[in-house]
Amino acid sequence: MPPTRTSTWMSSSSTRAGEHSHGKARTTVAKAADSGSISSINPRVASVKPSKTMALADLASSLKADGVDVISLAAGEPDFDTPRPIVEAGIEALERGITRYTPNAGVPALKKKICEKLERENGVTYAPEEIVLSNGAKQSVWQGVLACCQTGDEVVRMGEMGNGELVG
């Protein structure tokens, strides 16, 4: 059985290691048991449930590792290797030292190229500052909802969004 790990932290308003007061609510940083669950400092974050999509993707990977022939449609990953020109561009970027964090809204040169592509292939015109790059649509929508909505706000959504995980 793996050992239990404990996360502790201190602040000037802490009463003891691992506790922090926020008005009447006090949240304790919990021990990570062998189940792998970790309590969060912020109850809002603790209320976020794991993605069903990723749980299915993990299950598919586990079955594949056990030799089961699986066709997984869970995560929307392509069923082909990364095209060679993309691999080569990645290697070239690494060799040129392009290894740091990018700006939050995306790399300006890439945003410019996306604008050019959208105009050339789709006939729509955007400025680079109107383009935001993220690691996925679910992340972008989730962050937008969190940025705009407070606890108790009513959110109206038109039809299904992915598998319904974005708004609880």
Asked, for residue 159, whether it belongs to a domain, the answer is no
pLDDT at 89 over 60: yes
For residue 166, is it within any domain? no
Residue 81 in any domain: the answer is yes
Q: Which of 84, 78, 135, 126 is nearest to 106 (CA)?
A: 135
Domain encompassing residue 118: 103-150
In a domain, 18, yes or no: no
State residue 108's pLDDT score: 95
Lowest mean pLDDT among 18-32, 50-64, 122-136: 18-32
**Res 96: pLDDT:** 96
Q: Please state the domain count of the chain.
A: 2
- 53 with 163: CB under 8 angstroms? yes
- Of the candidates 3, 13, 11, 7, the residue with the CA atom closest to the CA atom of residue 34: 3
Q: What percent of the chain has pLDDT over 90?
A: 34
Q: Mean pLDDT over residues 73-97, rounded?
A: 90
Q: What pLDDT is recorded for position 116?
A: 98
